[in-house]
Amino acid sequence: MGRTFGLMGVDWEQRTDFERLRLARLDRIKQLLRASELGALVCFDPNNIRYITSTLIGTWSNDKFVRWSLLMQDREPIMWDFGSAARHHQIYCPWLDTRSRAGITNFRGGIRPEAGRAEDVARKIKVELEAAGLAREPVGLDIVEPPIMFALQAEGIRVVDGQQLMLQARMIKSQDELTLLDTACMMVDAAYEELYKVMGPGMKENECVGLVAKTLYDLGSEHVEGVNAISGERTHPHPHIYSDRVIPSSSTSCTPTTAIAPATTARSPSAALRRRWSTPMPVAAITSMTPSAA
């Protein structure tokens, strides 16, 4: 683990520089877009939207693909969001200037096709492309619902894969992203220390999950997912879901976790704590997790 700081911003110590973080992310994807064959990049994945626009709404929206961003060659990003969220961005996200606008998709089918949401999304995007002289250039999409893709094609927009470009951008972490990853790892260490103090026979798997999640949220996590407590014979084959099973004595337990600290995603506890957990108590090592969503 690298350097970690307190979780608050202070005037007497240089911690995470969020303005530098925003600029570094946007500059990186701009450079990659400029070097690509794409005229523009449209993102519906909230993690990619956040990377480009530094905006965020509740985690409930993560699987709805209801908002989107547009980044065109040599231009600043445009963000479409719920009307209230768009207004919030206008007030609290000055880096977007006047480019926070109201607009929603078809909510993964939650809004009936007759409402024309997919067509509205396509028209909004085409207007901006035409104004920039990019309407004939290929447009990359990171992820998209079929009705929106069909609507874009109906407008004469040539859609191609833009997901790889975003993954390439997010592969390399900036100084501030690394600091935030270390901070989130520290928070996971703290959560498992709390679990270590109380875990024992009679505790249920879901209670382990609840304790870890609560500790992470109390420390300031924006999002906690993948907390998984598996014990006894349930550990093999791994079911990838915790249960209400009571952990008996002499039962082995495996508890992987994902926690998201402010502005980033982070993963596993320190090697020292992993060694500690694997010896005095019947608790197996903590597994590392997937690549960052930062």
| 3-state helix, strand and coil shares in percent for the chain, rounded to the nearest 5 | 45, 10, 45
The pLDDT value given to residue 91: 98
Q: Tell me the average pLDDT of the chain.
A: 88
CB-based contacts of 225: which residues, under 8 Å, 6+ apart? Answer: 258, 260
Q: State whether the Cα torsion 91-92-96-101 is positive or negative.
A: negative
pTM for the full predicted model: 0.85
Instruction: Give which of 113, 102, 124 is closest to 147, Cα–Cα.
Output: 113
Q: Residue 271 CB: number of other CB atoms within 10 A?
A: 10
Taking the C-alpha atoms of residue 281 and residue 248, their distance in angstroms, rounded to an integer, is 13
For residue 274, pLDDT beyond 60 = no
Domains parsed from the chain with CATH numbers: 36-171 (3.40.350.10), 175-278 (3.90.230.10)
Q: Which amino acid is at 84?
A: S
Decide: 16 and 178 in contact? Cβ < 8 Å.
no
Taking the C-alpha atoms of residue 59 and residue 288, their distance in angstroms, rounded to an integer, is 22
The residue-averaged pLDDT of 170-199 equals 94
Residue 98 or residue 286, greater confidence: 98
Mind listing the pLDDT tens digit for each residue in 104-125? 999 999 999 999 999 999 999 9
The pLDDT value given to residue 258: 55
Q: How much of the chain exceeds pLDDT 90, in percent?
A: 75
Residue 80 β-bridge partners: 68, 101
Residue 71 β-bridge partners: 41
Mind listing the pLDDT tens digit for each residue in 80-91? 999 999 999 999
The pLDDT value given to residue 256: 64
Mind listing the pLDDT tens digit for each residue in 1-55? 678 899 898 999 999 999 999 999 999 999 999 999 999 999 999 999 999 999 9
Quick one: tokens of 176? 């501030």
Quick one: tokens of 161? 């894969």
Q: State whether the Cα torsion 112-116-118-124 is positive or negative.
A: negative
Q: State whether the Cα torsion 169-227-218-187 is positive or negative.
A: negative
Mind listing the pLDDT tens digit for each residue in 35-49? 999 999 999 999 999
Taking the C-alpha atoms of residue 142 and residue 126, their distance in angstroms, rounded to an integer, is 17
The pLDDT value given to residue 279: 45
pLDDT category of residue 268 using cuts at 50, 70 and 90: very low
Mind listing the pLDDT tens digit for each residue in 206-263? 999 999 999 999 999 999 988 989 988 888 898 999 999 998 886 656 666 555 555 4
Strands 159-161 vs 139-141: parallel, antiparallel or unpaired: parallel
Decide: 117 and 111 in contact? Cβ < 8 Å.
yes
Taking the C-alpha atoms of residue 224 and residue 95, their distance in angstroms, rounded to an integer, is 27
Decide: 160 and 141 in contact? Cβ < 8 Å.
yes
For residue 158, pLDDT beyond 70 = yes
Quick one: tokens of 242? 């915790």
